[in-house]
Structure 1
Amino acid sequence: MSQPEHGHNPQPGGQPGWGNQPQWGNQPQWGSQPQWGNQPQWGNPPAWAAPQGGSPNGPGQPAPGWPPGPPYGQPLYVAPPKPGIIPLRPLQFGEILDGSFQTIRRNAASMFGSALIVQALGAVFIGIVTVGMFQLSMSFDSVSSEAEFNEAMGPFLAIMASTLGVSVLIGFLGSVLQGVLVVPVARSVLNRRTGFKQMWKLAARRIWPLLGVAVLLTLGGLLAAAAVVGIAVLLFSAMGPGALLIVLPLGLGSVVAFVWIGLKLMLAPAAIVVEGKGVYDGLLRSWQLTRNNWWRIFGMTLVVAIMVGIIAQIVQIPASLAAGAIGQVVTPHPDAESIAATLVVTTVISSAIGALVGSVTFAFQASVSALIYMDLRMRRDGLDVELMRLMETGADPDGVPGSPATQPANPWTPPQNPAWPPNGGQFPSAPPGQQPPA
């Protein structure tokens, strides 16, 4: 059989010759277009053939042209809606970070303002303690006897205890504020802005459980730390320097246990505010939500803490350099009075900058914790479906999304309406005189 010319289409049903090449079905010749049904030739516009058994415009048949639907018969992907700061589906870490930044930007007055109040209060206490410590340290220069030293140590220990008390107070207020800041985060998921007054009004309903869980967590942490320190002191008293072999592993183990329990209970304020839980139920709810997700939460929390620490240090370094420059300019020949005055000025400046930076970082960390809570609820409880329903219906526009007040009624529960069924107790589909079986 002679080989057909280049570009010549073979006859339908025939096989072109190609040397001694074996025949594979109806394989076309090189340079020609294979005929698969009514597939168009190269260079010609596509013309999809009409389905068999009906006209192109027949009922139930697609119109001629490009076929509808996704290619190759695969299901069409529809992205989940994103009405607010996050898409309504389980979240990735980048989406949590982006949602946290957007929440602060959209609700700056409520989130940044509340965090600034707490941080400013803590900065004032820290400034007072710092100035007091400096004055006491200056008084030690004039100590010349053991009695005077013991007399000066009393106020020194009192200021040290005050420093510890300020730290505990800031931690306590931070735990309460973390629950309060869940309100604007949850509302931002549905693109609902929250003002300062509205946020505290919604959170005031759960303020007593928030205070209770904050007290419980704070006292628990203090008692655990006191127990570890007491055991270490007893071991050193009984064993001397050799107790270090026991105290060091004990200290590392206590830190690991503290971090593990802290992450397991970190979502309790959010559960109390959003779901209306009590103190015990809120702690139990946080423990259940973090089950099988501890390492994921630990990784996200660690990365956020590192980011926040780096940003805070970057901002604080210029402030420290500026404070030192002010001291060199104002008091080139320092004495006791000028040093004290310079210390007061630099402390005020450093405290103000620290309060501003701390308010931003705290609001960001609280937003991350709240979005982790929303993510876990979408993974475990199907919260994304409930949020879609709220988005479509617009129900409870002044509430907190995800709270029990926004949960739909059980669809299998018969309606509590005395006029149901209609038509005198007969269903519309039932013939006259008949009623559905009980």
Structure 2
Amino acid sequence: MQQPTSKPLGFGEILDQTFRIIKSNFKELFMISFWVIIPIIVLQTLLLTLTGRSFVFGGDIGEGAFNQLINGAESIATTSPIDDLTSSLISLLILFALPILGGGIIWTVKYAREGQKPVAKEMIKKALPRYWPMFWSTLLIVLIVFAAIFFPILIVAFIIGMFLVIEPIMGAIMAILLGLGFFIGLGLLFTRFTLFLPAVLFEKVAPGLGKSWHLTKKQTWKFFGLFIILSIITSVISMIISIPLTFLGDSVLYHVLSNVFSLVTTIIFIVGYAVIYFESTIRQEGTDLKSMIDEYHTSESH
């Protein structure tokens, strides 16, 4: 059982604790993800089967391995209107499931950091009372992110397009600089809002944006870097897993296994996200306590 954690952690220590928690509690973390997501996977399997898609293999079994890989990748990349509709429905259902999935995993991390033994079903039950505040807060964040990305991209694309027409070299330089500035600027802004979900879960606030802004104060660059590292790790794992699955082509089994394996990368990211939240509360509570002591001594001196 993991020892209780109450001291502030550095950049590397947060990553280390993330993977130690996953290693010690992987069964419960996976079961939380499994119980929440499995109904969606079953529905997706049923819908894909009804469209007449091959269940096991989407290509010619007699082809060589290289041709199977190429043709499988092409079949996955090619989508029909029915595929798009199915994907949209599944994405919507995942949005509804996200508060329970995230809440259950965050509760598990809390138990692990306190040296307690989490149980999957109990962690899910603990997240349920705050489901609707978490859901509406998540929906609000999704809309904010969409608006913050979509409209600036149009403006940046227009500016870059003008420069490319007038001066291609300068346009390319502008594209790189604007793209980098766009990524860093929005990344830092979104980092200030990212801790809304555990704030809503534990601190009875909604949508939790103000609380998240407070918790990330003076640690924005650090947390931004951690989110980038976690994204890189999960992307690499997803890429490694997806290569052998590509041989299955655009089959039902491909989609089922992709979703099941994606639970692992989801667990990694949300556990790291939860550790960042608890780290921020320790840091800010310590800072707030110091400020209260300083204010007390100042008032006493007067």
* Superposed pair shares fold, TM > 0.5: yes
2:18–2:272 Cα contact (<8 Å) kept = yes
Counterpart position of 1:380: 284
Report deviation, 1:294: 1.4
Contact 1:85–1:103, Cα closer than 8 Å, also in 2 = no
Structure 1 position 286 matched with structure 2 position 204: no
Match of 1:217 in 2: 141
The superposition leaves residues 55-101 of structure 1 with CA deviations (integer Å, 9 ceiling, x where unpaired) of xxxxxxxxxxxxxxxxxxxxxxxxxxxx8356421113343234323
Q: Normalising to structure 2: TM-score of the pair?
A: 0.68
Distance of 2:50 and 2:204 partners within structure 1 = 43
- 8 Å contact 2:47–2:86 — kept in the other structure? no
**Is 1:113 matched up with 2:31?**
yes
Distance 1:288 1:169 in 2: 31
Shift of 1:253: 4.7
Q: What does the per-residue CA deviation read over 1:164-221, in whole Å, with 9 as the maximum and x for residues that have no partner? A: 5644654564365323321111111121122222112221222121011111011122
Contact 2:130 2:200 survives alignment (8 Å): yes
Task: Give distance in 1, aligned partners of 2:4 and 2:89.
Answer: 39
Aligned residues: 257
Three-state SS of the structure 2 residue aligned to 1:192 is coil
How many angstroms apart in 1 are the aligned matches of 2:106 and 2:191?
17
Provide structure 1 residue ranges, at least 5 long, that are not aligned to the other structure.
1-82, 136-154, 324-342, 386-438
Counterpart selection for 1:361 from 262, 265, 289: 265
**What secondary structure does 1:381 align onto?**
helix
Residue 196 of structure 1 corresponds to: 120
CA 1:357–1:381: 2 relative to 1, 3 Å: same
Residue 258 of structure 1: aligned partner: 186
Contact kept in structure 2, 1:180 and 1:203, CA below 8 Å: yes
Aligned residue for 2:236, secondary structure, equals helix
- Please report how far the alpha carbon of residue 110 of structure 1 lies from its aligned counterpart in structure 2 after TM superposition: 4.0
Q: Does 1:276 align with 2:180?
A: no
Range with greater deviation from structure 2 (118-127 or 261-270): 118-127
Deviations 1:234-261 (A, max 9, x none): x59x979749959947665544443222
Q: Does 2:22 align with 1:104? A: yes
**2:225 equivalent to 1:318:** no
Asked if structure 2 preserves the Cα contact closer than 8 Å seen for 1:183 and 1:199, the reply is yes
Which residue, 130, 134, 138 being the options, matches 1:206?
Answer: 130
**CA distance, structure 1, for counterparts of residue 193 and residue 269 of structure 2:** 15
> Could you say which residue in structure 1 is the equivalent of 2:255?
351
Give the aligned residue type for 2:200: I
- Residues 14-63 of structure 1, C-alpha deviations (whole Å, 9 max, x = no match): xxxxxxxxxxxxxxxxxxxxxxxxxxxxxxxxxxxxxxxxxxxxxxxxxx
Distance 1:162 1:270, change over 3 A: same
Q: Could you tell which deviates more after superposition, 172-181 or 259-268? A: 172-181
CA displacement at 1:277 relative to structure 2 = 1.9
Residue 66 (structure 2) aligns with: none
User: Is residue 119–residue 358 contact of structure 1 (8 Å, CA) maintained in 2?
Assistant: no
Q: 1:367 Cα deviation (Å)?
A: 1.0
Q: Superposed, which structure 2 residues align to 1:82-93 within 5 Å?
A: 84-85=2-3, 87-93=5-11
CA contact (8 A) 1:176 1:269 kept: no
Whether the aligned pair in 2 keeps the contact of 1:122 and 1:170 (CA below 8 Å) is no
- Is this contact kept in 2: 1:115–1:177, CA < 8 A? yes
With over 3 angstroms needed to count, the CA separation of the structure-2 counterparts of 1:365 and 1:133, relative to structure 1, is: farther
Identity %: 24
Question: Residue by residue, what CA displacement relative to the aligned partner does 1:345-404 show, whole Å, maximum 9, x if unpaired?
Answer: xx2332233223211111121111111111121122149x9xxxxxxxxxxxxxxxxxxx
Counterparts of 1:234-253 in structure 2, within 5 Å, are: 235=158, 242=165, 245=171, 248=175, 253=181
Contact preservation (8 Å) 1:209, 1:272: yes
Contact 1:103 1:185 (8 Å CA) reproduced: yes
Q: Which runs of 5+ in 2 are unaligned?
A: 55-78, 290-302
- Alpha-carbon RMSD across the aligned residues, in angstroms, is 4.0
Q: Higher relative contact order by CA 8 Å / sep ≥ 6: 1 or 2?
A: 2
Alpha carbons of structure 1 residues 164 and 232: separation in structure 2 relative to 1, 3 Å? farther
Alpha-carbon contact 2:99-2:138 (below 8 Å) kept: yes
CA gap of 1:133–1:365, structure 2 versus 1, over 3 A, is farther
Aligned in 2, Cα 1:296/1:354: closer, same or farther, shift over 3 Å?
same
C-alpha distance in structure 2 between counterparts of 1:182 and 1:267, whole Å: 11
Give the CA deviation at 1:157: 5.4
Partner of 1:73: none
